[in-house]
Amino acid sequence: MNLTDFGLTKEISEYLADNSFKDFTIARVICEYRERYIVSTGVNQYEAEITGNLRFSAHSRADFPSVGDWVAVKTYDSDLAIIHKILPRKSILERQMIGKPGEKQIISANIDVAFIVQSIDNNFNINRLERYLTICHSAGIEPVLVISKIDLSTKESINNALNELSTRHGNVKHILLSNTTKEGLDQVVEFIKKGKTYCVIGSSGVGKSSLINNLLSKNILKTLEISQSTKKGRHTTDHRELFILENGGIIIDTPGMRELGLTDDTEGIKTTFNEIHNLSLKCKFPDCTHLTEKGCAVLEALENGIIDKKSLENYRKILKEQEHYQSTVAEKRKKDRQFGKMVKNIVKEKKKYKY
Ligand code: GDP
Ligand code: ZN
């Protein structure tokens, strides 16, 4: 195995050629557990930590490595490494940090394709799909919808679902899957290409683990060999891993990645609701809410049956959430600034008394 097997891209190769990394070894982060990492060079696997420098200069969680990252490391002994630099990321999958409004957490880096799983029996929902599409589009990740548990459904309801999909998002690629009968599994496998990195997202209970297990049990080439010291104190439900399938595709499975909340997704909203967004640029008032305004291009399109009512409602809802997120971030920044000023003043006062 080599770095290409782990998904080394042309962009990273070029970046390495343009910048001097001759004193470093290049590796990919394949497992993360509370700021401890396992990185692989394709030939060897190392337990790794970040340099103190990287830690002190980190402004946020985004400055720490994540599974999927390419890193420049120095190796010690046969199984220890120190991470000195994170190489530029092609895509970043992030979510709203739980319990810390306005803060983002990187879940995984350099993912090419996300399988968005929705089960046909009780989870298939285009509004929810639009949410996931938004996340994927703002992360720069290609979305593929997997409609699972088709063995529990009838032809008729599958067709209804597909009709609804084609009305609202006809260009989204989709696969019909049963993890139980394995129908459609080959299509998922066919979709997976050598050297590309994939992840599986969706609500709880829709069949994500079953899909990953099916892919792994059928195709796994190399599972992670976790060394003994990392295993200690490690909860199996709280770790992140990267697997390579037999056909050369790379799957990243992290529990946190499966439940995603919107963060800074303006670009993703524009792409997902492309038609509505483009129309909104033609509205008479720049701050048009597309509810009652005269000269609203969006409402006109709705009346003419050009856009879907449910998508418009969801667009408004997601935009509102986005605004809320942004105002939380702004509020937080303001507080941080005030705190900074306060500290400065205290330092100043202290100096006054000293001299
Ligand atoms: P996750 O929470 O998304 O990872 O969902 P799981 O893979 O754990 O699946 C939740 C439950 O649904 C389990 O009991 C699975 O056996 C079942 N399940 C998953 N996929 C299918 C499927 O395609 N058909 C049927 N009938 N059951 C499934
Ligand atoms: Zn409008």
pLDDT, tens only, 219-244: 544 444 444 444 443 333 344 478 88
**Residue 26, domain member (yes or no):** yes
Q: Which residue has the CA at smallest separation from atom 25 of ligand 1?
A: 149
Q: Are residues 182 and 226 in the same domain?
A: yes
Q: Residue 234: inside a domain, yes or no?
A: yes
Q: What tokens does 312 get?
A: 């418009």
Instruction: Assess whether the C-beta atom of 207 lies below 6 angstroms from ligand 1.
Output: yes
pLDDT at residue 237, as a whole number = 37
pTM attached to this predicted model = 0.84
Best-predicted range by mean pLDDT (91-95, 99-103, 208-212, 326-330): 208-212
Picking from 253, 274, 291, the residue at the C-terminal end of a domain is 253
Ligand 1, pocket-test mutation among 178, 209, 210, most atoms within 8 A of CB: 210
Does residue 318 belong to any structural domain of this protein? Answer: no
Judgement on whether residues 116 and 244 belong to the same structural domain of the protein: yes
Domain of residue 62, CATH code:
2.40.50.140
To the nearest whole percent, how much of the chain has pLDDT over 90? 56
Let me know if residue 40 belongs to a domain: yes
Average pLDDT score, the chain: 86
Residues 163 and 235 in one domain: yes
Residues that place a CB less than 5 A from ion ligand 2 = 283, 288, 290, 296, 298
The verdict on 74 and 100 lying in the same domain is no
DSSP codes, 140-186: T-EEEEEEE-GGGS-HHHHHHHHHHHHHHHTTSEEEE--TTT-TTHH
Which ligand ends up closest to the CA of 280? 2
116 lines ligand 1 (CB under 6 A): no
Q: What is the mean pLDDT of residues 102-107?
A: 78
pLDDT tens sequence across 11-34: 999 999 888 888 999 999 998 888
pLDDT of 183 strictly over 80: yes
CB 215, CB 223: distance < 8 Å? no
Is residue 257 scored above 80 in pLDDT? no
Last residue within a domain, chosen from 253, 278, 311: 253
Range in 147-156, 199-208, 341-350 with the lowest mean pLDDT: 341-350
- Among 146-160, 228-242, 326-340, the minimum mean pLDDT is found in 228-242
Query: In 10 A of CB 62, how many CB atoms?
Result: 16
**Which residue did the predictor score with more confidence, 302 or 221?**
302
Tokens representing residue 315 in the block: 């667009």
**Ligand 2 mean position, distance from CA 166 (Å):** 25
Residue 154 has pLDDT above 70, yes or no: yes
Q: Bigger pLDDT: 154 or 106? A: 154
Nearest CA to ligand 1 atom 9: 207
Q: CA-CA distance, 300 to 64, in Å (whole number)?
A: 47
Q: Ligand 1 within 6 A of 148 CB?
A: yes
Residue 180, ligand 1, Cβ within 6 A:
yes
How many whole angstroms separate alpha carbon 158 and alpha carbon 147? Answer: 9
Distance separating alpha carbons of residues 117 and 129, to the nearest angstrom: 9
CA distance readout (Å), 129 to 157, 272, 275, 306:
17, 10, 16, 20
Instruction: Check which CATH number belongs to the domain holding 143 and give it.
Output: 3.40.50.300
Is residue 168 in a domain?
yes
Same domain assignment for residues 219 and 175:
yes
Shortest-distance atom of ligand 1 to CA 117: 3
For ligand 1, whether the C-beta of 197 sits within 6 Å is: no
Asked whether 58 lines ligand 1 (CB < 6 A), one says: no
Which residue minimizes the CA distance to atom 27 of ligand 1?
Answer: 149
Q: Is residue 137 part of a domain?
A: yes
| More confident call, 258 vs 69 | 69
C-alpha distances in Å from residue 123, one per residue of 23, 70, 77, 102: 50, 35, 49, 28
Domain count, the chain: 2
Q: Are residues 78 and 109 in the same domain?
A: no
Report helix, strand or coil for 337.
helix
Domain annotation covers residue 150? yes
CA distance 3 to 43: 8
**Which domain, by its residues, includes 133?**
92-253
**Domain check: are 11 and 98 in the same one?**
no
Please state the separation of Cα 188 from the chain's center in Å: 19
Confidence at residue 243, expressed as pLDDT on a 0 to 100 scale: 83
**Within 10 A of 97 (CB to CB), how many other CB atoms are there?**
17
Q: Of 147 and 32, which is predicted with more confidence?
A: 147
Q: Do residues 170 and 66 both lie within one domain?
A: no
Question: Looking at the structure, do residues 187 and 49 belong to the same domain, yes or no?
Answer: no
Q: Is the CB of 179 under 6 A from ligand 1?
A: yes
User: What pLDDT score was predicted for residue 258?
Assistant: 65
Q: Is residue 335 part of a domain?
A: no
Q: Identify whether residues 61 and 99 lie together within a single domain.
A: no
Task: Kindly state whether residues 73 and 159 are assigned to the same domain.
Answer: no
Q: Given 236, 253, 270, which residue is the final one in a domain?
A: 253
Quick check: 284 pLDDT over 80? yes
**Cα 269-275-281 angle, rounded to 5 deg:** 85
Q: For a pocket test of ligand 1, which of 179, 183, 212, 217 has the largest count of ligand atoms closer than 8 A to its C-beta? A: 179
Q: Do residue 104 and residue 242 come from a single domain?
A: yes
CA 56 to CA 208: how far, in whole Å? 37
